[in-house]
């Protein structure tokens, strides 16, 4: 089964509340086999809307990433991010090359 990438582009509007999200989201992501590849690192925007925080996590499968998103633990974390950020999130399955 191919692994998958969880890719988030974020503009934080309330750093304190978003910090609480990050505290809770990390363990929820790890519990579903996710590991961070990039989180708030340097980037260069080439197209589209610029979001100053970009996060990439690798999951063992697309299903594991989607299950993580819908999990009780992640949804509890997400409650802190919803009023504290503007974000886009996509999960992309990797090619088995």
pLDDT in tens, 11-70: 999 999 999 999 999 999 999 999 999 998 999 999 999 999 999 999 999 999 999 999
Residue 1: per-residue pLDDT? 86
Name the phi and psi angles at 86, rounded to 5.
-115, 130
Residue 97, pLDDT above cutoff 70: no
Residue 96: per-residue pLDDT? 73
Helix ranges, 32-61 (H)? none
**pTM as predicted:** 0.91
- Domains parsed from the chain with CATH numbers: 4-43+50-93 (3.30.70.100)
């Amino acid at each position: 089964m191919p692994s998958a990438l969880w890719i988030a582009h974020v503009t934080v509007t309330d750093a304190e509340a978003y910090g609480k999200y990050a505290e809770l989201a990390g363990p929820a992501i790890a519990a579903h086999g996710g590991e961070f590849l990039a989180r708030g690192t340097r980037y260069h925007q080439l197209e589209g809307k610029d979001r100053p925080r970009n996060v990439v996590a690798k999951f063992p499968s697309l299903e594991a990433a989607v299950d993580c998103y819908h999990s009780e633990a992640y949804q509890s974390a997400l409650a802190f991010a919803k009023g504290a950020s503007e974000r886009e999130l996509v999960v992309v399955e990797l090619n088995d090359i």
